[in-house]
Amino acid sequence: QKEVEQNSGPLSVPEGAIASLNCTYSDRGSQSFFWYRQYSGKSPELIMFIYSNGDKEDGRFTAQLNKASQYVSLLIRDSQPSDSATYLCAVKDGNNRKLIWGLGTSLAVNP
């Protein structure tokens, strides 16, 4: 059973701090990794995609991928109350046919 694991949280950080969200996956053949954000009562929306080992930065968001250790993380710098949401990690399986989703980590940014 291919799995994606996330700490459910809630993760609570003060405004302006760095929020660090982690995700581990079991399928060593996975090559594509996604972070989706889901506000309460809304649908998921893609915020980061990463394919290569290392870091990928987009504004205040940085995704980090380590395929040898099978983990992917999301860093949110200068966290804002508007970042309060559930962050879902999704990993494309090694057959490249479907996404395996984590349960999500709830993030609360306190003013």
Partner 1 sequence: EAGVAQSPRYKIIEKRQSVAFWCNPISGHATLYWYQQILGQGPKLLIQFQNNGVVDDSQLPKDRFSAERLKGVDSTLKIQPAKLEDSAVYLCASSFSNPGLAGGYNEQFFGPGTRLTVL
Q: 79-98 mask for partner 1 (x: CB under 8 A)?
A: ---------x---x---xxx
Determine if 44 is a binding residue for partner 1 (CB under 8 A).
yes
Looking at beta carbons only, is 42 or 77 nearer to partner 1?
A: 42
Measure the N-to-C terminal CA separation of the chain; round to a whole number of Å.
Answer: 40
- What lies within 8 Å, CB to CB, of 41 at 6+ separation is none
Supply φ then ψ for residue 81, to 5 degrees. Answer: -55, -30
Rounded Cα gap, residues 23 and 5, in angstroms: 6
Q: Give least dist CB 15 to partner 1, A.
A: 25
- The residue ranges that bind partner 1 (CB under 8 A) are 8, 31-32, 34, 42-46, 49, 51, 88, 92, 96-99, 101-104
